[in-house]
Each structure stands twice: as C-alpha cells, then as structure tokens.
Amino acid sequence: MDTARDEALPTAPAHGVVGVLLAAGHARRFGSDKRRVPWPGHGSLMEAALAPLQAVCPRVVAVLPPGDAWGLMLCRRLQVEVAWSFRRGDGLAASLSAALPLVRGAPAIVVALADMGDVRAATVRALIAAWQRQPGQPVLPVFGGQPGNPRLIPAVLYPRLEGLSGDDGVRRALDWAAAQRCAVDDPGVLRDLDTPAGLG
C-alpha cells in the first residue's frame, strides 16, 4: 500500500464528481464500531476510507447513522459533508438514498465503503477517467479479474436509487454486469474489514 504517494499526485481536472462514503452500517460481525479502528497512516479506518475521495473529489459526503457524535466530529474536522440515514437497519441502499439530496447537482458520484481503508486515490481517478470516456455508464474497479469497490454511478442513474432498501437494493437497481470494468493495480478494492481477525 502506498497511499501517501497516491495522494501526493496532482488532482484530476475539474470534473465535479462527488465522493460518497457509506458509513451508517451496524458492523454486527465486527462487534464494535470498526470505523474507529486505528489504521496505518491515518487516525482511523474511516479517515483512511475518506482519504482517496478527498484527494480527488471536490466534495465528499459521508452518510452517518442518527446520533453519531464521533462521526459528525470527524467529518467537521475533515470538512466532509454529512447526510443522515434514518433507516439504519435497511442496508446500503437506504444509506445511498440518504445521500441523494446532497449530490443531485453532481454529474456522477463515486461510492465508497467505510470499512475499506486500503483503496488508492489513483483508483478513484481511474474510475472518473473511465466515466469521462463513456459518461452514461456506471464504472466498477477490477483487480485480478475480481470486481470491487468503490464504484462510480452517473447522474442519469440517480432516479433508480430513490427509495431503495436492503444491501441488495443497489445491485437490483443497477445493471453492474453491463457496467464499464476499469482494471486497476489496487488490491485495496477487494479488501474490507468484517471481523477483528481481519486486522491481523
């Protein structure tokens, strides 16, 4: 992992793409708030997950659960906008729907997960570059033949995201099989932290 090197690279030309971090989940398998786990090169896992979005996107929105004082303080310190997901038990789709009012003017969004702290800024740039070549299609990163995250969703598809529910809601609403596949040299697109054992 060479996050510092990636984030030192010049940002892409103005593209208007907004970063969205989904950070309102329960983390049942982890047993505690994994977003707060210390992470190499960053104060916490959530800060590491935000870093590539902040390095590339002019705006970043984090979706938080109601009453998340720690997350709110972190976002204020990092100048990250906050959307509240009041349907906390309703999966990733509900969190994404909660972000929509704050991103409607953006031509596309890059959606990242708060438990993925090894994604490189270069990957976010690659997704945006692929979208700029074919603006109407969603884009997903591929490493070693495996699709991963974060993923880019163009504005033309925002209406499909309204009122979704469940972790499978986005997969049902968007045809990822027909998405652009963007090859990246970044194993971080496949790594997430589900249990404390993953820290080893």
Q: Where are the domains of the chain?
A: 15-194
The string of pLDDT tens digits covering residues 60-69 is 999 999 999 9
Nearest alpha carbon to residue 18 among 182, 155, 186, 168:
155
Mean pLDDT of 104-114: 96
Q: Is the pLDDT of residue 9 over 50?
A: no
Calpha distance 107→89 (Å, rounded): 29
pLDDT-based confidence at 198, cuts 50/70/90? very low
Q: Which CATH architecture has domain 15-194?
A: Alpha-Beta Complex (3.90)
Q: Is the pLDDT of residue 114 over 60?
A: yes
pLDDT value at residue 84: 95
Residues in the chain: 200
pLDDT value at residue 196: 41
Q: Is the pLDDT of residue 51 over 70?
A: yes
pLDDT value at residue 105: 94
Q: Which residue blocks in 28-120 are alpha helix, DSSP H?
A: 45-56, 69-78, 91-103
The string of pLDDT tens digits covering residues 126-145 is 999 999 999 999 999 999 99
The string of pLDDT tens digits covering residues 68-102 is 999 999 999 999 999 999 876 667 788 888 999 99
Burial (CB count <10 Å: 0-12, 13-18, 19+), residue 162: exposed
pLDDT value at residue 8: 43
